[in-house]
Structure 1
Amino acid sequence: MSALPELEAPRNNNGTFMPNTLAHEVIEQAQAGDQEAMTILYETFQPQIFRYLYYRTSDYHLAQDLTAEVFVRLLRHLPTYQHRHGLFRAWLFEIARNLVIDHYRRMHRHSYTDLSDDMVDQRPTPEHTTERRLNHEVLRQALRRLTQDQCDVIALRFLADMPIAEVAQVLNKSESAIKNLQLRGLAALQQILSTRKISYD
């Protein structure tokens, strides 16, 4: 087997590496049945997928099960994946998002309570301020108060570290719609956290 190309691993804002993208050759080798390439796909994306699903469900074991199902579906559909249709990671997160939606439909349970417009502070809030103030437990609780679209945008942007364009592909929305959802979602989070008077130290 020929040597596999290295992963492209851009830096996050905190200086750590987050392997968000893969050389196209790795995907092609995985499509051809190469087990080493499949391992690279799993090890690259499993932590991001699990984190996203955990914050979407607030259930550790359910997130594990859904993460496993994401990669089962990856194996099933990878042979027909066409790179020109979009970014691989966006395609994978779209599978994860659809699994969450399907799960709650089956359970007849909705985890989101929409915030009415008058509850949302319309003044822009610096993104870094919101990110800094949220710890993991508070974030899970607060996300459950957002609309489903707002929750998806916040989770994909700040937990999966996706750019606006990639989030737009996952959610099948325009970039301007994603920016608006992000703004309103961050404003809603600030409103929720301010109301609860939570300490973040």
Structure 2
Amino acid sequence: MKGHTKHMWDEKKLLYRVQVHKDADAYATIYDLYIEKIYRFVLFKISNTQEAEDITSDTFLKTWQYLTGKKRTVKSISGLLYKIARNAVIDAYRNKGKNETYSIEHAHALPCKANQDAIEVKQEVDALLISIKRLKQEYQEAVLLRYIEQLSIAEVAEIIGKSNASVRVLLHRAIKKLQSIHEE
């Protein structure tokens, strides 16, 4: 827990440097901390890697503009990044005029090992990801943010615009649905 507290303090310090001093080096550190997580989140929702890269890049540009624009209170840089990425994905679907589909095949990467254990683990992960893909969108998103991205309930709530209690209920229902899918 001590390391988590230090990370949060460092994040707040970086956020202060970006907002007050428009410090590009501090923002580069934030970028390095979150680029892979945000890209994985976007790629989970967008099946096209090029489009996922574009949306991720746009997310960081919009975040910089948001932070260096007029003075705003930001509780969490990670929450802000995920919220902007989520909105960018929604905008991309809206602009395309097509139904949302998800590609989770690229959302994970297991090291390639020749032993049987690694193959079995990969098969289990693939089966789980296929099951997650069968959930409705709001369940997928909650599960992705909470269990794959390992965000707190409060961060998930902030990103998807629901209360903490609603997120807990959503996650509970998603897990129950996953169990029933797995039993099929």
Taking structure 1 as the reference length, the TM-score comes to 0.69
Gaps of 5+ in 1: 1-7, 12-18, 114-131, 196-201
Distance across 2 between alignment mates of 1:95 and 1:30:
17
Q: Is residue 2:134 matched to residue 1:145?
A: yes
Change (3 A) 1:81 1:184: farther
Change (3 A) 1:9 1:73: farther
Distance across 2 between alignment mates of 1:9 and 1:48:
19
Change (3 A) 1:140 1:62: farther
Distance across 1 between alignment mates of 2:93 and 2:45:
11
Q: Please list, as runs of the form range in 1=range in 2, the aligned pairs for 1:107-146 lying within 5 A after superposition.
A: 107-111=96-100, 135=125, 137-146=126-135
Match of 2:86 in 1: 97
Q: Per-residue deviation at 1:9?
A: 5.1
Q: Pairwise CA RMSD of aligned residues?
A: 2.7
Amino acid at match of 2:18: A
**Does the CA contact (< 8 Å) of 2:11 and 2:77 recur in 1?**
no
The correspondence for 2:72, drawn from 67, 82, 87, is 82
Distance across 1 between alignment mates of 2:142 and 2:9:
19
- Matched residues, percent identical? 25
Gaps of 5+ in 2: 103-121
Moved segments of 4+, more than 6 Å: none
Q: Please list, as runs of the form range in 1=range in 2, the aligned pairs for 1:46-65 lying within 5 A after superposition.
A: 46-65=35-54
Change (3 A) 1:64 1:134: farther
Amino acid at match of 2:4: P
Amino acid at match of 1:107: K
Taking structure 2 as the reference length, the TM-score comes to 0.75
Match of 1:27 in 2: 15
Change (3 A) 1:134 1:189: farther
Match of 1:127 in 2: none
Q: Per-residue deviation at 1:66?
A: 1.0
Distance across 2 between alignment mates of 1:51 and 1:75:
20
Spell out, residue by residue over 1:16-45, the C-alpha distance to the aligned partner (whole angstroms, 9 max, x if none): xxx677432211212322221011010011
Change (3 A) 1:94 1:81: farther
**Does the CA contact (< 8 Å) of 2:14 and 2:26 recur in 1?**
yes
Match of 1:129 in 2: none
Q: Is residue 2:174 matched to residue 1:192?
A: no
Distance across 1 between alignment mates of 2:71 and 2:59:
14
Q: Is residue 2:150 matched to residue 1:161?
A: yes
